[in-house]
Amino acid sequence: MSAVAVEGLRKSYGALEALRGVDFTIAPGEVFGLLGPNGAGKTTTVEILEGYRRRDGGRVEVLGFDPERAGRAFRERIGVVLQSSQLWPYLTVRETLRIFAGYYARPRDLGEVIDLVGLGDKRDARVKTLSGGQKRRLDLAVALVGDPDLLFLDEPTTGFDPAARRAAWDVLRGLRSLGKTILLTTHYLDEAHNLADRVGVLVRGRIVRLGRPAELVAASATVEIRYRADGRDVAVRTDDPTRTLHELTGRALAEGTQLEELEVRRATLEDVYLQLVGEEDGEPAP
Amino acid sequence: MRLFLHQLRAEQLIFWRSREAAVFVFVFPILLFLLLSAIYSGEDDGEPVVNVLLAGLLGYGVANTTFGGLAILLVLRRENGILKRLRSTPLPPLTYLAAAVASIVAVFALQTGVLVALAVLVFDADAPAHASALLLVLLLGAASFAALGFAAASLIRTGEGVSPAVNVVVLPMAFLSGGFGPARDLPAILAGVAEALPLKHFVVLVKAAALAGEPPWTHPAAVLVVALWGGAGALVAARRFRWQPRDEG
């Protein structure tokens, strides 16, 4: 049975159709990345799965519960990191976690959770003295303290500098080894590529691609060939790079010219993504 | 019950750790009492003025602490996402709200104890004539103003706005209601306003219990006004109280 199953999920805010039939599943123990530009519907999707928002249509099952009607038993088993939320600034890390631990029937050991998110040397520091990255790791610790089966992380590293992002990734990789199912939203491609087993690309309320990061790249096997000719940059996209390259170089040799700064590059997840977002944004509004 | 006590302990820790809140909500009425008792002396209407001030400041205390303190706490926690986060945990919402009310009422109880002790020990006020009647009145007031605190929190939109909004209501109401000393010679229109608000009636009940030793049911009209305001507050809160920040749909 899947940890999360979403079928034909729809949600509108007034005239705005935020979700227009979203389908995906997440297997137990899987790290699933929901990737998309701002306003694509990532947070709406996640908040419906968490039970914060009601859906207009479609079927949603999370750990066997319908989140709209689920109660304490459901909340015992999920951990939530919201996109933006604060904690009590004057309490220490340990005090904050002790309060949250008290809500759960079987909480994790506090020291273990603190070490897991790398706040060991900050356990007695007041929350207001933590850096942005450390606060975000405390958010994660709060979500973990109930020992959830399923973890929702809504843009866990937005606003981080590169070093803090790398540190957060290390922590998140550590969670994978605990066997937690994780639903991660992000608009950073490298984050999805580095952390997720599978990625769903959400654009304008619809999943436009679904698969392993490497599959997504392979599926659009486009290769880009770049060179300079007559002082101008030329970029050629091709699905048959051997032939295209042969034709280009053959012509250049025949004409006695050079393909200056010749470069052959496989598409990255970023290329795939930008192409998908571009295609979707180009279509007329519904 | 275990969860309620856990949350009550948490609320007390959070309250006293936040100096600004503790000073504004807990100390302020006590400070005003000391100040006013130092300024005014003698008698008012045949009653030592310190007795009148004690009754008035208990009134200001209930409005400032259970109404204002609760409204501020709830709005700030809603707007910074703490309420929303709590909703994702197994803590039942009603347990959380009950603990928040119990915690602020505990703060008010302590404040009342300090006020009465200061008045009796330092300023030679009379000990409350009818202690159990006074307790009953204070509980009624705390419940009613806490309900109004929920209503205010439901109507106030931003964290920046909550403190000014609360004080714009509480301070004038306290002046008109005799919270800071006698308010007998008010212009008719202001007297009418005071009459319609709950605080004046609460101060009447406090005076009756503390000074004349009269239990609250000897003033049924005052009890009714305080209770009606509390009921109206509860109704507004039940319809409008939100757990998520205002800017989220």
Domains in chain B, number: 1
Task: Give the residue ranges of chain A where pLDDT is below 50.
Answer: 283-286
DSSP assigned state of B23:
I
Q: Of B7, B18, B85, which is closest to A80 when you measure between CB atoms? A: B85
Alpha-carbon span B7 to B41, nearest angstrom:
43
Site from A12, A44, A49, A85 to mutate, B interface, most B CB atoms within 10 angstroms: A85
pLDDT at residue number A286: 39
Of the partner residues B3, B89, B244, the one whose CB lies closest to the CB of residue A146:
B89
Q: Which pLDDT score is estimated for B228?
A: 97
> What is the least distance, in Å, from the CA of B15 to any CA of chain A?
9
Distance from CA of A79 to the nearest CA of B (A): 8
As a whole number of angstroms, the distance between CA A99 and CA A82 comes to 18
CB distance B84–A85 less than 8 Å?
yes
For testing contact with chain A, the best of B89, B91, B243 (most A CBs within 10 A):
B89
- Residue in chain A closest to B20 (alpha carbons) equals A90
Measured between CB atoms, does B5 come within 8 Å of chain A? no
Can you tell me the mean pLDDT for B26-49? 87
Q: How far apart are the first and last CA of chain A?
A: 35
Residue of A nearest to B18 (CA): A90
Residues of B whose CB is below 8 A from A51: 88
CA distance A239 to chain B (A): 45
What is the pairing mode between strands A181-186 and A150-154?
A: parallel
Q: What's the mean pLDDT in B165-188?
A: 87
The pLDDT of residue A280 is 66
d(CA A282, CA B73): 47
Per residue in A191-200, pLDDT (tens digit) is: 888 889 999 9
Interchain proximity B3–A146, CB inside 8 Å: no
User: What pLDDT sits at residue A285?
Assistant: 40
* pLDDT per residue as tens digits for the range B112-163: 999 999 999 998 888 888 889 999 999 999 999 999 999 999 999 888 989 8
Band the pLDDT of B248: cuts 50, 70, 90.
low
Q: How far apart are CA A137 and CA A156, in angstroms?
A: 9
Residue contacts between A and B (CB atoms, under 8 Å): 63
pLDDT band at B83 (very low <50, low <70, confident <90, very high): very high
Taking CB atoms and an 8 Å cutoff, what residues of chain B touch A79?
88
Q: Mind spelling out the 3-state secondary structure of A86-141?
A: CCCCCCEHHHHHHHHHCCCCCCCCHHHHHHHCCCHHHCCCEHHHCCHHHHHHHHHH
Q: How far is A127 from chain B (nearest CA, A)?
A: 12
* Spatial contact of A104 and A147, defined as CB atoms under 8 Å apart: yes
CA distances (Å), origin A82, targets A152, A158, A239, B246: 8, 12, 41, 15
pLDDT for res A284:
43
- Could you read off the pLDDT of B200-232 as tens digits, one per residue? 999 999 999 988 889 999 999 999 999 999 999
Cβ contact B6–A102 (<8 Å): yes
8 Å CB contact of A91 and B249:
no
Contact B90 A76 (CB under 8 A): yes
Task: Determine the pLDDT at residue B19.
Answer: 85
Q: How far apart are CA A95 and CA B145, in angstroms?
A: 30
- Full residue range of the structural domain in which residue B58 is found: 2-248
Q: ipTM score here?
A: 0.90
Q: In the prediction, which pLDDT does B249 show?
A: 47
Contact assignment for B17 to A103 by CB distance below 8 Å = no
Task: State the Cα–Cα distance between residues B160 and B158, nearest whole angstrom.
Answer: 5
Give the Å distances, CA to CA, from B233 to A198, A215, B115, B162.
Answer: 50, 58, 27, 17
pLDDT at residue number B72:
93
Residue A220 is predicted with a pLDDT of 64
State whether residue A75 sits within 8 Å of chain B by CB: yes
Q: In 10 A of CB B93, how many CB atoms? A: 12
Residues from chain A contacting residue B10 (CB–CB below 8 Å): 99, 102
pLDDT score recorded for residue B184: 78
Give the per-residue pLDDT at A159. Answer: 75
